Amino acid sequence: MSSGAAFGALVLVRWEVPGMTLVVATDFSAEAQRAGMIAAGMAARAGVSLHLVHASTDPRAPFVLGTSEEHLLADERKALADAASALRATANIPVEEELAASPIADAITAAAERVVAMALVIAPPRRLAPTFGRNIAERLARQSRVPILMVRAPEAFEAWLRGERPLRVMVGSDVGAASTRALRFAEQLTRVGPVEITVACVAGPDETSIRLGLPLPPSGNALLPAAETALRGELAAQIQSAGARVENVIIRAGTAAPETHLSVLAENERADLLVVGTRKHSWVEEVWSGSVSRGVVRAASTNVACVPRSLVEDKPSVPHTPRVVVAATDLSPLGDMAVPFAYGLVADGGKVHLLHVVDAGPFVHKLERVRDAELVNRLGERIPPEAKARHVRTEKHVLFGRAADEIVKYAERAGADVVCVGSHGRSGVGAAVLGSVSQEVIARSRCPVLVVPGPRE
């Protein structure tokens, strides 16, 4: 039999809709069999059927599947039938079989999209080279449009399904839309069994103070008490919005990569599962600025779930009055023209995020950040007086990096309904550069972008 897949098992399930199918992909390894049993237990508790898929790595598979020559894959077909029979006997639920062709990651994500699945579980087999297995897992995390649950410690799921103890789940939060989706996913697991949810937030002391308009902390390694209080308020609002029942909230000051802190926290708190939200990154973005979810996939030793924007969210919907608007300005008169449009668009009681991006590398001297803190006050001067009467809230943010990168990433993090940018902020070369920023934001943004031109001369 030809079976060299770099995954152990895949589970796809739509928890909240009865009668949906849970899909399991297998490479017939021992790890796949164990993950399949976990999937069967989850399916039985959720009241759904199983759909067992094997992605053949036989180079003939794409050409012979569905033809009279399919007998060339008879060994794999028999192994698939045997695996399905074992799952039927274990969980006493219907199990369908499907033999597919590689590439592995493409076959898995196609299956997930076809059933509009709500979860995908993989168990990378230990017998494969770590780099090979890791690459498949990272590819799935990058391109999947359904949540991925990576089983690295199956004992935790097995004890949970036997009813011996709750599943200890840690959700990494940056108070953005992606982590709200992660919280909702964690809460959905309660449909299978009891879950204890802990929310972990890793915040940079300087960045948090600047974002909240507070003085910089005396030590770059600790949050100001006022900053931590504000963060707890934001996390409480997020938890309420997600409808999650949370046992504990942990806030940690951190200057290293968030994925490093989250992985260590998950280990220290003995979490059975670490859940993070994912955002759509291009290959270039991941090379230059990285991805927290990809870093967690690499660093965490426990089970990991990566939750992307769902297929259901991507369906067309009737537009509503924007409640969250992001406005970016370079603080020039022309760049500021986007700001009043942002306040004009936002609904009464909504929120406007004012952004100014400093073109700087990741390592910025603290004295420079003191000067940048003054930029927050300059952003505040742009708030129109009528905003208070309309109960429109404003958050002011100074970000560091490439302007288009930071605007797009922040808009996704904030769950923006609209982004407002100027088409030109300066004259000459500067205008061309800022014009290219607005074009790049339009090309990459997941929400509508309003580009405000300067006055005609």
pLDDT higher than threshold 50 for residue 20: yes
pLDDT tens figures, 181-196: 999 999 999 989 999 9
Most confident range, picked from 168-172, 368-372, 405-409: 168-172
Of the pLDDT bands very low, low, confident and very high (cuts 50, 70, 90), residue 5 is very low
Mean pLDDT of 406-413: 85
188 compared with 374, residue with greater pLDDT? 188
216 compared with 345, residue with greater pLDDT? 345
**What percent of the chain has pLDDT above 70?**
82
Of the pLDDT bands very low, low, confident and very high (cuts 50, 70, 90), residue 292 is confident
pLDDT at 43: 83
Mean pLDDT of the chain: 81
pLDDT at 126: 46
SS (H, E, C) the chain: CCCCCCCCEEEECCCCCCCCEEEEEECCCHHHHHHHHHHHHHHHHHCCEEEEEEEECCCCHHHHCCCCCHHHHHHHHHHHHHHHHHHHHHHCCCEEEEEEECCHHHHHHHHHHHCCCCCEEECCCCCCCHHHHHHHHHHHHHHCCCCEEECCCHHHHHHHHCCCCCEEEEEECCCCHHHHHHHHHHHHHHHCCCEEEEEEEEECHHHHHHHHCCCCCCCCCCCCHHHHHHHHHHHHHHHHHHCCCEEEEEEEECCCCHHHHHHHHHHHCCCCEEEEECCCCCHHHHHHHCCHHHHHHHHCCCEEEEECCCCCCCCCCCCCCCCEEEEECCCCCCHHHHHHHHHHHCCCCCEEEEEEEECCCCCCCHHHHHHHHHHHHHHHCCCCCHHHHCCCEEEEEEEECCHHHHHHHHHHHHCCCEEEEECCCCCCHHHHHHHHHHHHHHHHCCCCEEEECCCCC
pLDDT at 411: 87
135 compared with 347, residue with greater pLDDT? 347
Q: Which residues contact 162 (CB under 8 A, 6 or more apart)?
A: none
pLDDT higher than threshold 50 for residue 128: no
144 compared with 200, residue with greater pLDDT? 200
pLDDT at 62: 92
pLDDT at 18: 39
pLDDT higher than threshold 80 for residue 384: yes
Range from 261-270, 273-282, 372-381, 396-405 carrying the lowest mean pLDDT: 273-282
Range from 174-183, 250-259, 400-409, 423-432 carrying the lowest mean pLDDT: 423-432
What interhelical angle do 177-188 and 225-242 show, nearest 10?
Answer: 50
* Rounded-to-integer distance, Cα 420 and Cα 449, Å: 6
* Rounded-to-integer distance, Cα 41 and Cα 185, Å: 18
pLDDT at 311: 55
Mean pLDDT of 301-320: 72
The CA–CA distances, whole Å, from 384 to 20, 140, 391 equal 50, 45, 12
pLDDT tens figures, 66-108: 899 999 999 999 999 999 999 999 888 888 888 988 788 888 8
Residue type, 89: A
pLDDT at 425: 46
pLDDT at 144: 83
Mean pLDDT of 381-398: 92
Most confident range, picked from 304-308, 370-374, 409-413, 423-427: 304-308
Domains along the sequence of the chain with CATH:
9-150 (3.40.50.620), 154-307 (3.40.50.620), 324-452 (3.40.50.620)
pLDDT at 325: 96
Joined together, the tokens standing for residue 180 give: 């709200």
pLDDT higher than threshold 60 for residue 370: no
Q: Which residues contact 74 (CB under 8 A, 6 or more apart)?
A: none
pLDDT at 351: 95
pLDDT at 76: 95
Joined together, the tokens standing for residue 380 give: 């505040």
pLDDT at 361: 54
pLDDT tens figures, 194-241: 999 999 999 988 888 877 767 888 877 889 999 999 899 989 989 998
pLDDT at 3: 40
